[in-house]
Structure 1
């Protein structure tokens, strides 16, 4: 498969290039960057000397149509909805890592993302690319909306419980923590070393753009209208997402019962690892990999189930899941090109 990356100069783009380099059935033919057009990729990222000798180019639909089967869009929000319709008309499949196609209700884009989605007609045909949950739909998709990093970790932890109807859908509180790479490569006072080092910050309380994504998917799986509390925090590490979800149990459940729910739901899913015996995962244990590790604890005193899920935000939370979706679309083993074990320590 010949593939291109649009938005190749950011962290998502460079991680895609790194992972695609080891994919046996992919040839990366173009890296498209409006801001870095004319610059060789290795001049921006010197560690990438084996990735394309040709300079990065600006977006040109004719060049894409002549040379590419699949496009990855690693662009900021409010970009892909403007160009994806043009790409799809050329029979090129799209995997969009931005938020432009994740929400099904077009009215939500203005209130949560701050822009009007101009590709409303495509919102009915897009497939939400949570690989372990929507595999059958992904197989025949032309347009994939890759989930956000926080929703990937949160939904993988909560969807099995919601579908099994063992937790109250009206009592979900999620505490999220992310490394600074989640903010992207652009300069920002918020992630300046002196501001971030030895510091932790809560941000966008009640208004984070991943809230409607979490609510949309959990509501669909529960046949209920779910409203939840989600508070994100940025912490002084480079990579990683940790989601700690607090839920009320609606019936008596043992640890083995909860374990059985997860094991049944994720049977034969290679990138989900469920911890046992109150073992709680940490972000370092998935660093650089496409794994999502999930651990849980039943608090008998408060009748709450506490679930901790961790991912690498740049891999399972973005580029790795995008390649996992590519593999599903192409009928390949999901693990193809994604066999990297976590980097530790």
Structure 2
């Protein structure tokens, strides 16, 4: 008798959904029983993604329209929602009511405050009654809340790249109460798999541009988690940039250390926080992370430096926006929620 967890991927045709399929098809403790897509309903999975021919049970899977009763009938125990922001809420409540665990990759349940959601997303939160149930599932920092949780809200890609370096330092009260500045660069896949002129090859190739200034949506969850870590309001400015690569995020953070705090204290705190955490690789002082070393993996690489001339701490991170910033982190949360080793299905992914 199989002991695998039966899983469904809702919204399986996007970039994050594609990576999620890759990880789950090869996951020794997961069995995909349903994949949904309104656009591809009735189409064999391997017709849309030929790369999965002959892999696990991919040949037997066909896209179906997203229907709660059908997912329940398939025996789904965990549903991954790889949907655009603003759509996941349609499925979360009925799935939970059907006794199905929800791991959401969108922003719909990351915020605890419905008013904050409306301020950043431009419309009232459609299911505010669920916000108090959701666990903000950044595994390295909120792991104790993930085991057994029924509604897991996976962090965004940019927030992961900022929170992993910053939260331990704020928890330890190492940073001055002055504005933190962040600049990030992301590959074009971060915009999703959709037809859009600004993201066509000729629009992106040989070009770098900033966007989302001064109020990128991810600032809402970053601010929420930084305030929670510091026990005070943390002022932060964030400028994202689009760069002509497929996948990867490189983030640089500028902050001020409290008087008497040294770069050695920063290193000690980071190493103490992430000792034994398999997917956070601390590179050390004056070591600059490179996206080529993390794309295709669930690792986040972190380096740091102290600029004595400017009196600034510089934190640097690199991750794959589709994996550690989305699908890989979702699988990592799945592992923790079900009591599997954290690295299951992710060591090479």
Query: How far, CA to CA, are the matches of 1:306 and 1:56 in structure 2?
Result: 46
Paired residue secondary structure (2:63): coil
Q: Tell me by how many angstroms 1:53 deviates.
A: 2.5
Q: What TM-score do you get using the length of structure 2 for normalisation?
A: 0.95
Aligned to 1:178: 186
Instruction: Provide closer, same or farther for how the CA distance between residues 42 and 209 of structure 1 changes in structure 2, counting only shifts above 3 A.
Output: same
Aligned to 1:301: 309
Determine which of 206, 209, 224 is the counterpart of 2:217.
209
Give the superposed CA RMSD. 1.2
Aligned to 1:33: 37
Q: Tell me by how many angstroms 1:255 deviates.
A: 3.4
* Contact kept? 1:298, 1:306, Cα under 8 Å: yes
Determine which of 62, 70, 73 is the counterpart of 1:55.
62
Instruction: Provide closer, same or farther for how the CA distance between residues 110 and 277 of structure 1 changes in structure 2, counting only shifts above 3 A.
Output: closer
Query: How far, CA to CA, are the matches of 1:310 and 1:251 in structure 2?
Result: 28
Query: How far, CA to CA, are the matches of 1:29 and 1:272 in structure 2?
Result: 31
Deviations 1:247-300 (A, max 9, x none): 011123443322111010112111011112411111111110000100011011
- Structure 1 position 16 matched with structure 2 position 20: yes
Query: How far, CA to CA, are the matches of 1:245 and 1:114 in structure 2?
Result: 27
Query: How far, CA to CA, are the matches of 2:35 and 2:23 in structure 1?
Result: 14
Q: What TM-score do you get using the length of structure 1 for normalisation?
A: 0.96
Aligned to 2:145: 137
Aligned length: 341
Alignment gaps of 5+ in structure 1: none
Query: How far, CA to CA, are the matches of 2:39 and 2:136 in structure 1?
Result: 29
Query: Which 4+ runs in 1 deviate beyond 6 A?
Result: none
Deviations 1:85-115 (A, max 9, x none): 1000011000000010011111122221233
Equivalent runs, 1:174-323 vs 2, <5 Å:
174-323=182-331
Name whichever of 81-90 and 106-115 sits farther off. Answer: 106-115
* Contact kept? 2:302, 2:315, Cα under 8 Å: yes
* Contact kept? 1:241, 1:313, Cα under 8 Å: yes
Alignment gaps of 5+ in structure 2: none
